């Protein structure tokens, strides 16, 4: 073997090592990335929360079937509430945190990590909310081998009854999905469950829905039309104070009424078309005394849709629904 050949081999080896090193530094082929997720968690008084478990999970993480280890990207906050999660592979993540006392939670989604550090997270930890989700097995092919989960979080429940009750969910926007083990598939249970707002200390009770709105079936643009609903849960909550009940109407045109204690609301449409009117209900208490003798504060699901067709010109059947 001559000297020039040995130098050529050495040059090839060095080039390969240099390429491998540069690839690892960029996070391209290494098992771990080089990004870091850093941040601070604090309570309502802006004091750092010590010893909170911080977990980073892929946004589409399925806690039942995913091969991703839920403990692979975790950290604990220090005395000032700060944390660092190193070696984060490229991808999109959610951050879930739980205080050591399990009294405070937080959730932060859409964290994008590339070969550089991710944005710094600064979040307030709050009391958990709750979600009660109705389960209709007929919509899932009659299967009983299903579980309900919140993507991007470690939260899931095995399907046993006609609803799933998540007792402690971090405040924020969540989706709720079902996983069917026999088919190894995950699917949205209902379109309304794709972007649920969970609030601290509030039950998002999707098994409760107001009576679908009543109103005209046809109308003309720019005229105001009145829709109304009813309350029919006296048998379920005999101690409920109706003075704390409020309603809002979604008009199907990206406009929603303000919350009000009235069972009716009026709206005019600015363009012709077919629209679906729906109603949501909420029950908010005013004091701790009320809390002790009444149902927990809740937001209901949306009612079934009531269709209305809006025309450019007014027909004879439109006249009955128009406000005078």
237 and 290 fall within a common domain: yes
Separation of alpha carbons 45 and 174, rounded Å: 26
Residues 102 and 191 in one domain: no
Res 308: pLDDT: 97
- Do residue 67 and residue 133 come from a single domain? no
Question: Which of 89, 124, 159 is the endpoint of a domain?
Answer: 124
pLDDT at 315: 54
Quickly list H helices, 146-240: none
Domain with 149, as residue range(s), is 129-200
Q: Does residue 1 form part of some domain?
A: no
Give the pLDDT confidence score for residue 320 in this predicted structure: 44
Kindly state whether residues 163 and 237 are assigned to the same domain: no
Asked, for residue 241, whether it belongs to a domain, the answer is yes
Looking at the structure, tell me whether residues 150 and 240 fall in a common domain.
Answer: no
Q: Supply the pLDDT for residue 288.
A: 61
**Contact partners, residue 154, CB within 8 Å, separation at least 6:** 55, 57, 63, 70, 96
pLDDT (0 to 100) of residue 118? 81
Q: Are 122 and 40 a contacting pair, CB within 8 Å?
A: yes
Sequential pLDDT tens for the chain (324 residues): 555 555 445 444 444 444 443 333 223 333 456 789 999 999 999 999 999 999 999 999 999 999 999 999 999 999 999 999 999 999 999 999 999 999 999 999 989 988 777 878 999 999 999 999 988 766 666 666 788 999 999 999 987 678 889 999 999 999 999 888 778 888 888 888 888 999 999 999 998 889 999 999 999 999 999 999 998 887 777 778 888 899 999 999 999 999 999 999 999 999 999 999 999 999 988 766 565 666 788 999 999 999 999 998 755 454 445 553
Domain tally, the chain = 3
Burial 175-195 (b: 16+ CB within 10 A, else e): bbbbbbeeeeebeebeeebee
The enclosing domain of 234 has a CATH number of 2.60.40
Q: Report if residue 286 sits inside a domain.
A: yes
135 and 116: one domain? no
Please report whether residue 21 resides in a domain. no
**What pLDDT, on a 0 to 100 scale, did the predictor assign at position 296?**
80
CATH of the domain at 49: 2.60.40.10
118 and 184 together in one domain = no
Residue 282 CB coordination number (10 Å): 18
208 within some domain: no
Give the DSSP letter string of 165-184.
EEEEE-SEEE--EEEETTTT
- Specify if 25 maps to a domain: no
Identify the DSSP state of 119. P
């Amino acid at each position: 073997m001559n000297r020039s050949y040995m130098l050529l081999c050495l040059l090839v080896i060095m080039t390969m090592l240099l390429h491998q090193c540069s690839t690892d530094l960029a996070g391209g082929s290494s098992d771990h990335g080089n990004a870091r997720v850093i941040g601070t968690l604090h309570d309502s008084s802006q004091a750092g929360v010590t010893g909170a478990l911080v977990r980073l999970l892929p946004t589409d993480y399925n806690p039942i079937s995913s091969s991703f280890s839920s403990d692979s990207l975790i950290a604990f906050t220090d005395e000032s509430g700060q944390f660092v999660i190193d070696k984060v592979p490229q991808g999109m993540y959610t951050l879930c945190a739980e205080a050591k006392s399990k009294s405070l939670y937080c959730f932060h989604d859409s964290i994008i990590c590339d070969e550089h550090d991710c944005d710094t997270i600064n979040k307030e930890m709050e009391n958990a909310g709750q979600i009660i989700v109705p389960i209709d097995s007929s919509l899932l092919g009659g299967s009983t081998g299903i579980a309900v989960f919140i993507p991007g979080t470690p939260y899931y429940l095995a399907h046993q009854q006609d609803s799933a009750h998540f007792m402690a969910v971090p405040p924020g926007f969540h989706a709720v999905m079902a996983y069917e083990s026999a088919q190894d598939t995950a699917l949205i249970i209902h379109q309304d469950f794709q972007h649920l707002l969970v609030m601290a200390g509030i039950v998002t009770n999707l098994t409760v829905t107001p009576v679908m709105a009543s109103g005209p079936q046809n109308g003309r643009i720019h005229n105001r039309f009145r829709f109304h609903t009813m309350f029919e849960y006296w048998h379920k909550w005999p101690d409920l104070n109706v003075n704390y009940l409020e309603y809002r109407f979604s008009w199907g045109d990206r406009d929603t009424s303000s919350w009000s204690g009235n069972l009716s609301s009026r709206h005019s449409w600015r363009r012709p078309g077919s629209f679906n009117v729906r109603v949501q209900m909420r029950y908010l208490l005013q004091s701790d005394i009320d809390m002790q003798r009444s149902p927990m504060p809740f937001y209901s699901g949306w009612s079934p849709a009531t269709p209305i067709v809006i025309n450019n010109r007014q027909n004879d059947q439109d006249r009955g629904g128009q406000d005078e």
